[in-house]
A and B are shown apart, each in its own frame.
Chain A
Amino acid sequence: MVGASVRVKGLTKRYGDVVAVECVSLSVERGAFVTLLGPSGSGKTTTLMMLAGFVVPTAGEIHIDDRLVTLDPPYKRDLGMVFQNYALFPHMTAFDNVAFPLRMRKVPRREIAERVERGLELVRLPGLGHRFPKQLSGGQQQRVALARTLVFNPRVLLMDEPLGALDKKLRQQMQLEIRHLHEQLGITVIYVTHDQEEALVMSDEIVVMRNGRIEQIGTPRAVYDEPRNNFVADFIGETNVLDGTIIKAEHSRYRVRTSAQVEVWCAGEGGLDPGRPVTMIIRPERARFVQSAESDNCLPARVEEVVFVGELIRYLLRLPSGEAIVLKCPNDSRTPDHAAGDRVLVRIDPEDIRVLPPLHSQPKEDT
């Protein structure tokens, strides 16, 4: 079984004046695992529902393997969909739930029994077919829903926050299981979540959405390391944002003066002129304490708060400019033991500072 490719062009949905999804274009390769990631209300569910055919778009086209399906009813699209609260049929046993799509496709009875058993084995739930949904735990229900969707070999699997109702441990376990199933079956998966960690762990590609629009598409590494804007940087992982002004632009780096009047080198592709105000984005785990101003790119600061998280220690520092900056250090013997009130020096490598046009020229984020 091979997954299908999905191509979406200019997909838009308006409810009266409310724009739920605006001009979303997306191309998903066969067998890819793509995640739609965004805060609440960013249009993820609406996009997925339009793909599945439950919401009629206001404009746009959807192709599955080069077949135009925009006007097809849901039951003719041959997409599998897993819903957030599973949507298991409460009046049917697990077996009947899994058999449902096969019965709808008029599969012979003997084959149904066999395929349902195989489906339940696939999600490691053999022998529980006789139970009703309410006799199963949340995780088991989740697996039945998965088996029910996979049993008819759909070429694309849509999942809307399928793990939202599970506790953290179980969620992490299911993330890996879904990942394995995806690798094993070669199916195309379009996955929706608002949990950035989940998106990073599971996806080949992440589509970051906000207010119905796509903000960035890229591999987990790309959206994490090279966020296209401040919103993406902030939404995926924790981020420090500092203001500055370019004072010198060289071949592949900038000299930037921070508002604390310290000058640092930053890596960059070029294209920004000297004198231009910019925003610097720094991941907390990429900054580190140094003993003395041994080299360039050091910022003086004062420790304001120390939080012990377990495998790492989180420091909240205050720069002389009044800006706050967060540092995450591994909890090992090399990390110096700082306490609130200490004066410290922080160093950030030029490659770890990302320079973007300043905040106010980017679309405002509403929270």
Chain B
Amino acid sequence: MPGSSASAVTAALLRGVERREEARRWLLVLPAGLFVGVLLFFPLLRIVSLSVWDPIFTLRHYGHAFQDPVFYRVLGVTFKVSLLTTVGCLVLGYPVAHLMAHARPAVANFLMTLVLVSFWTSLLVRTYAWMVLLGRRGVINNLLLAVGLISEPLPLMYNLFGVLVGMVHVLLPFMILPLYSVMKGIDRSLMLAAQNLGAGPFRSFLWVFLPLSFPGVTGGCLLVFMISAGYFITPALLGGRTDMMMGQLIELEVSQLLNWGYASALATILFVVVALLFLAYRRVATLRLPSGAS
């Protein structure tokens, strides 16, 4: 074997080759990682530190929060709005997702396009549209007055009702899409089998389809709840003074009261809540980008 023993390949050399391959991949990920790390995590850490250093280490901002009745009211509203929004999205979204999963491909595609059109329309535009519809002299009140169903404009906006109408509208796609993707994966023959075994259409739905669609329900609900909890624009434009949510309180403390320490504490609390919800979501679903019907 000429030359072979002289040029023995040591394990160290081989590991070097492997390391270089690994380093190449790291180099590709690093710019994005650094970019997000610096621009996102640095300011977030700054917020956390602002919430506990003022000017020395202190927990008084958290103390303030947990003693302030306003904080509890806002927390309550945030929870209530998020919960109602989630329920609303589920109730409205489930039948639509069910229909989409069972319709002919052309129909399913059309329905999906409707959902995605709504999804793609700017959040601000959609909220503005609701202002136009729900206002005191808005489209709906005008219509009802013209028909003579009511004599006084109904208070449809600047209250909990307005917020919910807007929030459910904005977040409905986030419920429909995960539901749809789970329902699409349910084997159609299971329903046929259930009916063959003597269950009527309704009972086979109740005993077979509904339980199988549960991962989509949990995933969609957690997603909607998580997004609702941190929402800002819709409640700010459609809500009343008494329906302030966490996002609005944070905004208020920062832009009007310049109370950075307290606002940072609130942001940190909100972040922890959302992070916990996200961890729960991770357990039931993989994060996927909403995509069209194939």
B187 at the A interface (CB under 8 A): no
Contacts A9-B4, A66-B1, A66-B3 given; does A59 touch B13 at CB 8 Å: no
On whether the beta carbons of A68 and B11 are closer than 8 Å, the reply is no
User: Which of B1, B2, B9, B18 is close to A70, meaning CB atoms less than 8 Å apart?
Assistant: B9
Give the residues in chain A near B13, CB-CB below 8 Å: 71
A58 at the B interface (CB under 8 A): yes
Tell me the number of A-to-B contacts counted with CB atoms below 8 Å. Answer: 32
Give the residues in chain B near A71, CB-CB below 8 Å: 9, 13-14, 17
On whether the beta carbons of A57 and B14 are closer than 8 Å, the reply is yes
On whether the beta carbons of A63 and B1 are closer than 8 Å, the reply is yes
On whether the beta carbons of A59 and B14 are closer than 8 Å, the reply is yes
User: Which of A57, A58, A68, A70 is close to B3, meaning CB atoms less than 8 Å apart?
Assistant: A68
Tell me, in angstroms, the Cα distance from A183 to B14 when the chains sit together.
36
Give the residues in chain B near A59, CB-CB below 8 Å: 11, 14
On whether the beta carbons of A68 and B7 are closer than 8 Å, the reply is yes
A138 at the B interface (CB under 8 A): no
A174 at the B interface (CB under 8 A): no
B68 at the A interface (CB under 8 A): no
Tell me, in angstroms, the Cα distance from A168 to B78 when the chains sit together.
65
Name which residue of chain A comes closest to B17, CB basis: A56
On whether the beta carbons of B4 and A66 are closer than 8 Å, the reply is yes
User: Which of A56, A57, A68 is close to B4, meaning CB atoms less than 8 Å apart?
Assistant: A68
* Interface members, chain A 193-227 (any B CB < 8 Å): none
Give the residues in chain B near A9, CB-CB below 8 Å: 4
A61 at the B interface (CB under 8 A): yes
Q: How far is the CB of B21 from chain A (nearest CB, A)?
A: 7
On whether the beta carbons of B9 and A60 are closer than 8 Å, the reply is yes
A7 at the B interface (CB under 8 A): yes
Chain A interface size range: 10 to 19
B197 at the A interface (CB under 8 A): no
Tell me, in angstroms, the Cα distance from A60 to B8 when the chains sit together.
9
On whether the beta carbons of B1 and A7 are closer than 8 Å, the reply is yes
Name which residue of chain A comes closest to B7, CB basis: A68
Q: How far is the CB of A347 from chain B (nearest CB, A)?
A: 50
Name which residue of chain B comes closest to A55, CB basis: B18
Contacts A60-B9, A61-B9 given; does A70 touch B14 at CB 8 Å: yes
Contact with A along B15-43 (1 / 0, CB 8 A): 00110010000000000000000000000
Tell me, in angstroms, the Cα distance from A60 to B7 when the chains sit together.
12
Q: Which of A7, A56, A63, A70 is the most central at the interface, judged by chain B CB atoms within 10 Å of its CB?
A: A56
Name which residue of chain B comes closest to A59, CB basis: B11
Tell me, in angstroms, the Cα distance from A68 to B21 when the chains sit together.
20
Tell me, in angstroms, the Cα distance from A71 to B9 when the chains sit together.
8
On whether the beta carbons of A63 and B4 are closer than 8 Å, the reply is yes
Tell me, in angstroms, the Cα distance from A57 to B8 when the chains sit together.
14
Tell me, in angstroms, the Cα distance from A63 to B8 when the chains sit together.
11
Name which residue of chain A comes closest to B18, CB basis: A56
On whether the beta carbons of B4 and A61 are closer than 8 Å, the reply is yes
Name which residue of chain B comes closest to A63, CB basis: B4
On whether the beta carbons of B9 and A56 are closer than 8 Å, the reply is no
* Interface members, chain A 50-97 (any B CB < 8 Å): 56-61, 63, 66, 68, 70-71
Contacts A63-B1, A66-B1, A71-B13 given; does A56 touch B21 at CB 8 Å: yes
What is B's interface to A at a CB cutoff of 8 Å?
1-4, 7-9, 11, 13-14, 17-18, 21
Please, could you name 30 A-B residue pairs with CB atoms under 8 Å apart, sorted by A? A7-B1, A7-B4, A9-B4, A56-B14, A56-B17, A56-B18, A56-B21, A58-B11, A58-B14, A59-B11, A59-B14, A60-B9, A61-B4, A61-B8, A61-B9, A63-B1, A63-B4, A66-B1, A66-B2, A66-B3, A66-B4, A68-B3, A68-B4, A68-B7, A68-B9, A70-B14, A71-B9, A71-B13, A71-B14, A71-B17
The 3 closest A-B pairs by CB, nearest first: A56-B18, A70-B9, A56-B17
What is A's interface to B at a CB cutoff of 8 Å?
7, 9, 56-61, 63, 66, 68, 70-71
